[in-house]
Structure 1
Amino acid sequence: MPTAFAKKESLAAIDKKFASLGLLEDFDFVLHLPLRYEDETAVHRIGSLYPGQMAQVEGIVRKSEVQIRGRRQLVATIEDESGQLSLRWLHFYPSQIKAVEEGRLIRVRGEVRGGSFWGFEMVHPKVSRAGAPLSDRLTPVYPATEGLNQPQIRKAVNAALARVRLDDTLPEAIQKKYHLAPFADSIRLLHNPPKDADTQSLIEKTHPAWERVKFDELLAQQLAMSVARATRQNKKAYAMKGKGSGLVTRLLAQVGFALTPAQEKVSREILTDMKRSYPMQRLLQGDVGSGKTVVAAIAAAHAIDQGFQVAIMAPTEILAEQHYRKLSAWFEPLGIATGWLAGSLTPKKKQQAAALVADGVTQLVVGTQALIQQHVTFAKLGLMVVDEQHRFGVGQRLSLARKGEQETIAPHQLSMSATPIPRTLAMTFFADLDVSVIDALPPGRTPVVTKLFADSRRSELLAHVHDVILQGRQVYWVCPLVEESEALQLQTATDTFDRLQQELSGLRIGLLHGRLPTQEKTAVMTAFHRHELDLLVATTVIEVGVDVPNASLMIIEHAERFGLAQLHQLRGRVGRGQNESLCVLLYMAPLSSVATARLKAMYETQDGFEIARRDLEQRGPGEFLGLRQSGMALLRFADIDEDAPIAEQARDTAQDLQSVYPEAAAAHLQRWARQRADLLRM
């Protein structure tokens, strides 16, 4: 007999397993909804089975033995009055051998396979006692983890359902307006659907019960965004209203080119925000090469002119260093002290750079995640700029925001992204942000022609590369890996570099990848900038921010392995000068349907918003939000693209609920958004 202590220890272990699934309180279990359902309400005749069917049959075990066919396996045959069915287990225990002893009458459930000469079989079927009462409801199958079985989860969920009150948080008027099923009925049906329920609509999440759950989740998300905006507006920030010394005007004279109307418009929006006494939270969108950096520089100049520090954080050292070089070239001649902080600096140089920031000597600091290290403090941070914000995890962005918080005062925040946000994503996860869009490219940007090349045409491509370089222009050749991977069998950057040196002898070829020491990376990139190299073989470290106007040809090796947004970013590295530019997507046949759709999209459009929309369809919203790195779920039940109509209804309802039914709004948010409040600071 197990002791009370052993039982208690066992329960604690199970609770730990539940906690790993995020199941801590009763309502967590209530919202732990099934992935699918099994039909254990009927027994099928063996003679009526068909391949792919999930079926339950009863029969007498006619044969049972452990066979050696390369490996030990348990094989049995059961029979009813309509036919025979084979059963097979590749992994089994002595108890399973006993359960299928010859002569026993058993019930088995599993997926029907086969149907050729050898007949039907089930592999690893579930075995139970024949003649047991059949269920009158579909059996739910829940998300699980190692060490938790389905009966344990069902028992815990049903216990939670018995304890909680499933009050409806939505007023009756709203339920009627959108024809929503009652919340309690929806939840109970999803956990225990009757045997005559529409199984297909339950699996596809189109059942009215699922529609209600998705509406509630999206409504909570909209309410959370609204609360985030209100919370931000209740915070204090430095209101940068003063005219200053005219640093913005002097900066514009220093950069040496006129702003486009689109850049002027978004600059006005940003400076207006910075004059308010609550923190700006603005997202600056602009397609590749639209000129976001100079807009960020204008915002920085305004803040510095008011006596504040500015921090600019970029996701990679190459991009951060490029920002630093460009911004310091603009600001240093104006007497503004700029600083550089990155992981590659020696401990002594890091300490010196951090000390200058802490003392307020450095007015503008550019860096990578090194800016959010614990030892980095600011004297008076007034503005933080996060470039390619979706590449940082939520926690990283929060860390930089907190650097500038001094009691109740927070810095203004400008996020930048060259990945346009699709409408449905903007309507949901960015609903609390103000969005500025640079919707036109600066003059002089030439459209990039995109061509698809099969790897079999490589020699033709090499001849074109040679011609381009002889005309005085430069070439990027991008590869997806640095070292050989047997699993992927892709051409690597190092192998490509060696091969091209032989195939294009006499040309100056460089190699750039993320594993090079920082000084080497800088030296290679500088040489390419100065046209001391003709061709640069690189990995995706050059994906964002690299600006070499003389480079007019981009070749992407194994383009079928890249994401759409990544391909669009890489294509944006060319077309920055006066010469006609070409992006070659070099692929290895045969292509999967997904890869074909991806390359087709690149060939058909250069519109960043259309690219982003198609990328969202293919890969989901995690890349846009920077949540993929954190492992945090986005929406558990709703699909941000397919359920856009529900999201629109939820957005409208959130406004009505807050103005007319504030208590219901608070109750709804409490039910759905517990323990996730910090994400609202994104």
Structure 2
Amino acid sequence: MPEPRSGPRTAELSVPQKAMHKLGLIRDIDLALHLPHRYEDETRITPIRNARDGESVQIEGTVVASEIQMRPRRQLVVRLDDGTGECELRFFSFYPSHQKTLAVGQRIRARGDVKGGFWGRQMLHPVFRKAEGELPAALTPVYPTVAQLPQAYLRRAVASALRRVDLTETLGEALDRPPVALRGGKGFEPLWSLRDALFFLHHPTPDVALVTLEDHTHPAWQRLKAEELLAQQISQLEAKRERARLRSPELKPTPDSSALHEQLLAVLPFDLTAAQRRVCAEIFGDLARSIPMHRLLQGDVGSGKTVVAAMAAAVCMDAGWQCALMAPTEILAEQHFAKLIGWIEPLLASRGRRVAWLAGGQKKKERTQMLAMIESGEAALVVGTHAVIQEQVRFRNLALAVIDEQHRFGVAQRLALRQKLKDRGLEPHMLMMSATPIPRTLAMSYFADLDVSTIDELPPGRTPIVTKVISDSRKDQVIERIAAQVAEGRQVYWVCPLIEESEALDLSNATATHLDLSEALPGVTVGLLHSRMPSAEKKAVMQQFKEGSMGVLVSTTVIEVGVDVPNASLMVIEHAERFGLSQLHQLRGRVGRGAAASACVLLYSTGESGRLAETARERLKAMAETNDGFEIARRDLDIRGPGELLGARQSGDSLLRFADLALDSDLLDWARSVAPKMLDQYPMLAKQHVARWLGSKSDFLKA
């Protein structure tokens, strides 16, 4: 069986080989680690008379009748007799080759679900073959696959790869004290080797408890999960050590009152919270070192991360260097720009320096002016979207890069920022911010190479938000509530998940909702905001809402982050069942920013089924029960796993295929303790281990 290798060009590959490449099955080890998602038992034959109704069994017998019947539709009907009874095999889709194999007198094995009825036992569309050779000794694997990649081809490819693959043990002495789970749970049982674990999982013996294979608690599964977690931890520790060998500018805060960060503190219209001051001290400590800072600043919605970023930027600029602040959307970038200009630009102006703005929709003249300011160093602070990392943007001396909502940026984009100082042999310090708090196990696993600072305190004056989960059949009552809020001088957000009608998803769109609310609320200015509007139009709408001349803003999720209107006291999220938990929490955080009592209404629709999906129900329940972003993040991890909490960090690739962070914390603890020992005492084995498990994916962990 030829194995697809990285050598041949794609055009030279067969159709099944191209399909395997699509699945990422290129190396022998890729195929060896492509594990079955279920198994079929072909190891035993059940006498027909013992086959129970509803049971999935394999039978063997002689074809005693085989004919094509035309009523009620064309079908092939075959009778199989094994001496203990008869079973009818019925096929609505069949080929001449099937008829030949199932001809009268042939000895056949058939496997499927038995149905008992008035006319006796029956199987619909069973899997069948000629009864030749001995029965297999192991369960038959069924692999995850794609179109044009048959199970038979994949089984042969995996079996061939298992014969060739190098499964030399890489753990050696590092496994001197493995978790009990790796030893089968009985203390003195022998440890499963990687080879034994893989061969067993591809072809388990029929006496195994299938539930231990399905829930991945079998010792063979535990061995694989431990190895996978260890590869990830080694890779991250390696990245952290590599970063420690790089050099960054030393940005030491000046202690006197003339320092830019002290002047910034003096002009802020509020005092920093204790949590903000603590986090500032952590960041200042990093900036003062010559080792590049690689820190994640996390805090709940509205906890004041922007102010902390401004303080870090002030220290950087005071030392004569440039700072870049990058946000995922223009609205969020503009909000930072407006705040930072108000706070910092007057202070910078006295030093002959300025703040620059970069975004995709800028006019050429303005953009050229900004690029010149950045290259000359006149622009001490550069705020913008992805435009900040474009090739034509040349910094004079970038020393600090602040990335807001870091999970919305890909690996390549973060790496591009780091390249901006390469010609001087230096790395910029990196501060990444997230309003989606990272649960501890996730931080230990995927962010092991990051230092994490947490703002765990909200500024005074934030009011608690009451969250109500309401069926969209009561939408009229919600509109009455909106009218009452606007009459009291308050403002309201109404968020829709789509802009246009879609035949596939019967959802209200922002345009139709805007018209409906305008009619239902005469005398109230109802605005509309969505991502397809021209930039100038979006700015004008947001300005009206901020000034208070607009009572209701109908929007898509472009207002998810960064929008700050203290007078807004009600958030309505339509089709809330369609949103992710962290996104719902972000949207809810747009209200409760002033002194007025605030509420968030989650309008859900059950559709034609009349009931919510289990995960949607869990999300809405979590939102109603807690306002705590850390608890929300923990529940999000429980409901969906690490996927969206990590965002684009892995550039679309999941680095953990087998381990479950919610269930395998003991294996993660073990991997964290073993990783430094592997790197220090067995560097070649560590390198081999990471290459086996991660291949080129280990680069994703280094951004």
Give yes or no for TM over 0.5: yes
2-structure distance, mates of 1:602, 1:56: 49
1-structure distance, mates of 2:54, 2:171: 41
User: Which stretch of the first structure deviates more once superposed, 474-483 or 452-461?
Assistant: 452-461
Structure 2 contact 253–284 (Cα < 8 Å) conserved: no
2-structure distance, mates of 1:500, 1:481: 16
Shift of 1:403: 2.9
Structure 1 contact 311–366 (Cα < 8 Å) conserved: yes
User: Which stretch of the first structure deviates more once superposed, 406-415 or 167-176?
Assistant: 167-176
- The superposition leaves residues 404-442 of structure 1 with CA deviations (integer Å, 9 ceiling, x where unpaired) of 333631110000000010111011001110000001000
Check 1:117–1:364 CA distance in 2 against 1; reply closer, same or farther (3 A cut): farther
- Amino acid paired to 2:240: R
1:114-513 to structure 2, matched below 5 A, reads 115=116, 122-172=123-173, 174-178=175-179, 179=183, 180-241=191-252, 243=254, 246-334=259-347, 335=349, 336-406=353-423, 408-513=425-530
Structure 1 contact 237–277 (Cα < 8 Å) conserved: yes
Tell me whether 1:622 sits opposite 2:643 in the alignment: yes
- Amino acid paired to 2:33: L
- The superposition leaves residues 432-467 of structure 1 with CA deviations (integer Å, 9 ceiling, x where unpaired) of 100000010001111111122222322222222111
Structure 1 contact 550–577 (Cα < 8 Å) conserved: yes
Q: Secondary structure at the match of 1:366?
A: strand
Aligned match of 2:68 in 40, 65, 77? 65
Shift of 1:483: 1.5
Structure 2 contact 323–398 (Cα < 8 Å) conserved: yes
User: Which stretch of the first structure deviates more once superposed, 313-322 or 353-362?
Assistant: 353-362
Structure 2 contact 446–701 (Cα < 8 Å) conserved: no
2-structure distance, mates of 1:64, 1:328: 84
Q: Secondary structure at the match of 1:597?
A: helix
1-structure distance, mates of 2:278, 2:124: 65
Structure 1 contact 473–551 (Cα < 8 Å) conserved: yes
Q: Secondary structure at the match of 1:153?
A: helix
Tell me whether 1:535 sits opposite 2:552 in the alignment: yes
Q: Secondary structure at the match of 1:404?
A: helix
Shift of 1:26: 2.5
Which residue of the partner structure matches residue 639 of structure 1? 660
- Amino acid paired to 1:421: I
1:48-87 to structure 2, matched below 5 A, reads 48-50=50-52, 53-61=55-63, 62-65=65-68, 67=70, 74=76, 76-87=78-89
Structure 1 contact 560–588 (Cα < 8 Å) conserved: yes
User: Which stretch of the first structure deviates more once superposed, 45-54 or 501-510?
Assistant: 45-54
2-structure distance, mates of 1:338, 1:119: 83
Aligned match of 1:23 in 14, 20, 25? 25
- Amino acid paired to 2:525: R
Check 1:250–1:173 CA distance in 2 against 1; reply closer, same or farther (3 A cut): closer
2-structure distance, mates of 1:117, 1:316: 66
Structure 2 contact 174–678 (Cα < 8 Å) conserved: no
Shift of 1:665: 3.3
Check 1:50–1:597 CA distance in 2 against 1; reply closer, same or farther (3 A cut): farther
2-structure distance, mates of 1:572, 1:588: 22
- Amino acid paired to 1:458: K
How much identity, in percent, do the aligned residues show?
A: 52
2-structure distance, mates of 1:91, 1:347: 64
Q: Secondary structure at the match of 1:29?
A: helix
Structure 2 contact 252–315 (Cα < 8 Å) conserved: no
Check 1:297–1:202 CA distance in 2 against 1; reply closer, same or farther (3 A cut): same
Which residue of the partner structure matches residue 3 of structure 1? none
Check 1:350–1:491 CA distance in 2 against 1; reply closer, same or farther (3 A cut): same
Check 1:295–1:628 CA distance in 2 against 1; reply closer, same or farther (3 A cut): closer
Aligned match of 2:689 in 668, 671, 679? 668
User: Any unmatched runs of 5+ in structure 1?
Assistant: 1-7
Shift of 1:347: 4.5
Which residue of the partner structure matches residue 45 of structure 1? 47
Check 1:418–1:104 CA distance in 2 against 1; reply closer, same or farther (3 A cut): same
User: Any unmatched runs of 5+ in structure 2?
Assistant: 1-9, 184-190
- The superposition leaves residues 623-650 of structure 1 with CA deviations (integer Å, 9 ceiling, x where unpaired) of 1222388331230111122222211121
Check 1:152–1:391 CA distance in 2 against 1; reply closer, same or farther (3 A cut): same
User: Which stretch of the first structure deviates more once superposed, 588-597 or 210-219?
Assistant: 588-597
Q: Secondary structure at the match of 1:363?
A: strand
2-structure distance, mates of 1:328, 1:616: 37
User: Which stretch of the first structure deviates more once superposed, 206-215 or 646-655?
Assistant: 646-655
